[in-house]
Chains A and B, each alone.
Chain A
Amino acid sequence: MSQYLPALALLILAALFAALSFVGSRLLAPRNPTVPKEAPYECGIIPGREPPQRFPVRFYLVAMIFIVFDIEIIFLYPYVLVYRELALAGLVAIAIFAALVFESFVYLISKGALDWGPPSTARQIDPSLVSAERTASTTIRKVGLEGRLPHNEVAA
Chain B
Amino acid sequence: MIGQPYLIDVDWGDLVQAVITAVISFAVLLVSVMLMVWFERKVVSRLQNRIGPNQAGPFGLLQTLFDGTKLFFKEDLIPAEADRFVFKLAPYLALVPAFLMFTIIPVAGDFSNGHDGSVMVGGEKMFFQVIDPPVGILFFLAMSALGVYGIMLAGWSSGSKYPLIGSVRASAQVISYEAALGLALASVLLVTGTLSTNGIVQAQSGGFTSWALVTTGFVPFVIFVIAGTAELNRPPFDLVEAEQEIVGGFHTEYSSIRFALFFLAEFMNVVTMSAIFVTLFLGGPAPAWDFPWIDLPLPGALMGFIWFFGKLLIFLFMFVWFRATLPRLRYDQLMDLGWKVLIPLALGWLLVLAGIRVAQDNNIGLADTAFGDTLIILVIGLAGLAAGAGLLAAAIKNARNEASAVALPTSGIVGMED
Interface residues of A (CB under 8 A from B): 1-15, 17-18, 21-22, 24-26, 28-33, 35, 37-41, 43, 47, 49-52, 55, 59, 62-63, 65-66, 69-70, 72-73, 76-77, 79-81, 83-84, 87-88, 90-91, 94-95, 98, 102, 105-107, 109-112, 114-126, 129
Contact = CB atoms under 8 A, between A and B. Distances in A.
B18 A9 contact: yes
Interface on chain B toward A: helix, strand, loop, or mixed SS? helix
Interface residues of B, number: 107
A3 B190 contact: no
B65 interface: no
B59 interface: no
A62 B332 contact: no
Most chain B CB neighbours (cut-off 10 Å) among A8, A11, A39, A40: A40
A104 to B, nearest CB: 11
Contacts of B330: 117
B175 A10 contact: no
Contacts of A38: 77-80
Contact of A62 (B159, B247, B258, B335): B335
A102 to B, nearest CB: 6
Interface stretch (B249-257, B272-280, B281-289, B295-303): B249-257
Interface stretch (B21-29, B46-54, B221-229, B320-328): B21-29
A112 B354 contact: no
Contacts of B258: 22, 25
B27 to A, nearest CB: 10
Contact of A6 (B21, B171, B178, B190): B21
Interface string B43-84: 000000000000000000000000000011111111111000
Contacts of B361: 84
14 contacts: A7-B130, A8-B18, A22-B257, A41-B163, A70-B182, A77-B186, A80-B350, A81-B193, A95-B351, A106-B395, A109-B339, A110-B398, A111-B402, A114-B336
Interface on chain A toward B: helix, strand, loop, or mixed SS? helix
Nearest to A37: B77
A51 B182 contact: no
B133 A4 contact: yes
A75 B131 CA distance: 26
A83 to B, nearest CB: 5
B364 interface: yes
A41 B160 contact: yes
Contacts of B404: 119, 121-122
Contacts of A81: 189, 193-195
A11 B344 contact: no
A48 to B, nearest CB: 11
A49 B256 contact: no
B392 interface: yes
A17 B260 CA distance: 12
